[in-house]
Amino acid sequence: MIDSTSSFDRAALIVAHDEANAFDAVVPPIVQTSLFTFSSYEEMEQTYLGAKVRPAYTRGLNPTVRHFETMLAQLEQAEDAMGFASGMAAISSTVMALVQPGDRIVCVRHVYPDAYRLFQNLLKRYGVTVTYVDIRDEEAVAAALPGAKLLYLESPTSWMMHVGDLAALAALAKKHGIVSVIDNSWATPIFQRPLTYGIDLVVHSASKYISGHSDVVAGVVAGSKELIARIKANTYPYLGGKLSPFDAWLLIRGLRTLPYRMKAHEEAGLSVARRLAAHPQVTAVHHPGLGNTLPASLSGTSSLFSFELKEGVNIPRFVNHLRLFKLGVSWGGHESLVVPSQVARAQNAGPNSAIDFEVPPSNVRLHVGLEGSDALWSDLTQAIAAAS
């Protein structure tokens, strides 16, 4: 005999698993629980044997996290996706699931500095080596690939925004039986869908544009069922960097406005980048959208880019005079941000330097937020004038 209280409890659990019936809520519920109980020995056994798929423990499966993973997989046109507690958790779990001692990774130059440190500091200790190549130089990539296990890409790359031909690079990797992985945080699936060009796996720092509100640290990997299953089997449960239900819920909110935010970032970013390119105190602007045509794999551009100031412009003075652009790392939220490369160089000095950086000291990175491009342009011009 089931009393009304316990049947309600069970009903609440079931609707939480079934988003189509979640109290008719337009926003999926946050299933903020570590564990899920079973109604019988048989149900527990069936679940453990894999005959029944249902949550047992949130590190394995959580409905809110699964909701985000399903949305992201659809956006990337992937069969499956898996959420992580950070972009670096997604990157480390993905890469470490696919390599073993003696293997070699081919990685693009100007990769995200913590990915570089993962390769140089941690993977090296486990006998994995890395060859760095210029993503624009297909011959160099082709020469580096034979015998490698993994091709690790960013396009555009961090800071210098070098862009590669994803279809050609994916074909090269396939020819040698090498799994290809790309960090797509910059473009997001709104502007670039790497799997459609033959890349095997896409990783994201969801802390950036996907969240879009600078209030979450999270990551995700998307790709074929088979590769996601390999990550699930090899590293993910043991490294344990699981996305939390509340953060997944914030990411679901972020995804709902992602196309509109990206359009607004694109317009504002291009508007500022074009005006910088024409400014007499600016010697270079590294933004993939300034050419006559967009690179083939990009259908648009986000608003993170870097530029170089003429010798003699005092960079500390320049950033100290900025009012709307705040000094800060990360990007992808509402607020505009600035990072002088000199500061990043200082952080990366020493034997474990992520630099390889080859970013000139006159280089400054901007994230153009949503405050309005005219106001942001006034801010930049007054700060350049004050520093010149």
Single-letter code of the amino acid located at 12: A
Q: Are strands 104-108 and 129-133 parallel, antiparallel or unpaired?
A: parallel
User: Among residues 29 and 87, whose Cβ is nearest to ligand PLP?
Assistant: 87
- From the candidates 80, 104, 109, 112, give the one annotated as an active-site residue: 112
* Strand-pair partners of 202: 182, 222
User: Among residues 196 and 330, whose Cβ is nearest to ligand PLP?
Assistant: 330
Shortest distance in whole angstroms from residue 26 CB to ligand PLP: 28
CA distances from 304 to 121, 223, 369 (A): 27, 25, 9
Known catalytic residue at 236: no
Which DSSP state fits 243? P
Contact 94, 135 (CB under 8 A): no
Single-letter code of the amino acid located at 292: N
List of residues contacting ligand PLP (CB under 6 A): 86-88, 112, 114, 158, 183, 185, 205, 207-208, 217, 219
Phi-psi region of 96 (alpha: psi -120 to 50; beta: other; left: phi over 0): alpha
Shortest distance in whole angstroms from residue 340 CB to ligand PLP: 17
Shortest distance in whole angstroms from residue 345 CB to ligand PLP: 17
User: Among residues 129 and 330, whose Cβ is nearest to ligand PLP?
Assistant: 330
Shortest distance in whole angstroms from residue 247 CB to ligand PLP: 11
| Unique residue bearing structure tokens 């473009």 | 187
Known catalytic residue at 317: no
Shortest distance in whole angstroms from residue 147 CB to ligand PLP: 26
Among residues 287, 324, 282, 284, the alpha carbon closest in space to that of 302 is found at 287
- Tell me the residue number closest to ligand PLP, measured at CB: 87
How far from chain centre, in Å, is Cα 197? 18
User: Among residues 302 and 373, whose Cβ is nearest to ligand PLP?
Assistant: 302
User: Among residues 58 and 86, whose Cβ is nearest to ligand PLP?
Assistant: 86
Distance, CA of 6 to CA of 181 (rounded, Å): 47
User: Among residues 205 and 297, whose Cβ is nearest to ligand PLP?
Assistant: 205
- From the candidates 109, 132, 165, 183, give the one annotated as an active-site residue: 183
User: Among residues 183 and 200, whose Cβ is nearest to ligand PLP?
Assistant: 183
Single-letter code of the amino acid located at 81: A
Distance, CA of 266 to CA of 287 (rounded, Å): 11
Known catalytic residue at 253: no
Distance, CA of 243 to CA of 236 (rounded, Å): 11
| DSSP string covering 216-268 | ---EEEEE-HHHHHHHHHHTHHHH--BPPHHHHHHHHHHHHHHHHHHHHHHHH
Known catalytic residue at 260: no
Distance, CA of 236 to CA of 65 (rounded, Å): 14
Contact 54, 38 (CB under 8 A): no
Shortest distance in whole angstroms from residue 281 CB to ligand PLP: 27
Contact 106, 133 (CB under 8 A): yes
SS3 of residue 308 by DSSP = strand
Shortest distance in whole angstroms from residue 357 CB to ligand PLP: 14
Catalytic residues: 59, 112, 183, 208
